[in-house]
Amino acid sequence: MTPSPSTGTVLDSIIAGVVEDMDTRKATTPLARMQQLAAEAAPARNAYDALVGGRDNAAGVGIIAEVKRESPSAGPLADIASPAELAAQYAAGGAAAISVLTERRRFGGSLEDFDAVRARVDIPLLRKDFTVDEYQIYEARAHGADLVLLIVAALDDTQLRDYLALTHELGMHALVETHTVEEIQRAVAVNASIVGVNVRNLKTLEVDTAHYGTLAGHLPANVVRVAESGVKQASDVAMYAAQGADAVLVGEALVKHGEPRQAIADFRQASRS
């Protein structure tokens, strides 16, 4: 079993707050009730099929467009008056899926933002948070999520395997996020079907866009390969596509763009070969 990361990193600090906020929600809605709500939710959309379309170079890579108010590294990003309207623009621009931040303390997100987006669009949604407890997976499904985020660096091997299995039991898929060769190997060992490489080191928040290319060769051909972070312009998306990415997750560049619908179309066009 691979231990969780040592204390003192940015990731550890974020997770500590996530656990505290989750415990507050648990006090209001206990696990048994959340499990019931998850069972009663409408069936999940097939996020895998939506993302695997990025392998069709004629159509361009799949864009996972993010609703993101702020970040630990950049601070406030955008005053998003209506997450639902932003998501509608993303969908109209051809996004394959939409990611909604629900972590409150460092990203300014909320489940209310997620609910607003879910009520507006009908494409797959990723509940973007730091999953460290099965409660969050049931909670995501109860709110209509189709994808959850499993960060390999935040989980030991048993958690990673069990949480991925639970995600599938609930009809969802998981974006299994990695940053190192070892983490890719751990993701492959649990048969992850959607594997992301985050070019941001969550322990330090440093970004290196060349990092995806360094690790791309270690990603199996049979998984959906997602490049995460570092996108500032269309050429960055094209670079990831040229290195084999099937999908690219974009947050800051879209929420700060005056015309997000057009930006997504431009990103996809730039990635076509």
Residue 68 is a catalytic residue:
yes
Place of tokens 């309207």: 85
Residue spans of alpha helices (H) in 128-209: 134-142, 157-169, 181-189
Residue 65 host element (H or E) = strand 62-67
Choose, from 70, 71, 99, 128, the residue flagged as catalytic: 128
Joined together, the tokens standing for residue 247 give 């999908």
Is residue 182 part of the annotated active site? The answer reads no
Which amino acid, one-letter code, is at 84? A
Residue from 71, 99, 193, 198 carrying the catalytic annotation: 198
Is 232 known to be catalytic?
no
Structure tokens at 254: 């879209």
Q: Which of 138, 147, 157 is nearest to 196 (CA)?
A: 147
- Cα–Cα–Cα angle for 203, 113, 15, rounded to 5 degrees: 25
Residue 120: name the closest of 144, 87, 159 by CA. 87
The DSSP secondary-structure symbol of 223 reads S
Choosing from 71, 99, 201, 229, the catalytic residue is 229
Catalytic residue among 68, 70, 252, 271: 68
Q: Is residue 34 a contact partner of residue 139, using CB atoms and an 8 Å limit?
A: yes
CB–CB of 94/265 below 8 Å? Answer: yes
Residue in 70, 139, 177, 183 annotated catalytic: 177
Residue labelled with tokens 């231990």: 3
What residues does 176 pair with on adjacent strands?
150, 195
8 A C-beta contact, residue 268 and residue 60:
yes
Rounded Cα distance, 235 and 271, in Å: 8
Helix (H, G, I), strand (E, B) or coil at 67: strand
Indicate if 70 belongs to the active site: no
Active site residue 26: no
Give me the active site residues, please: 66, 68, 128, 177, 198, 228-229
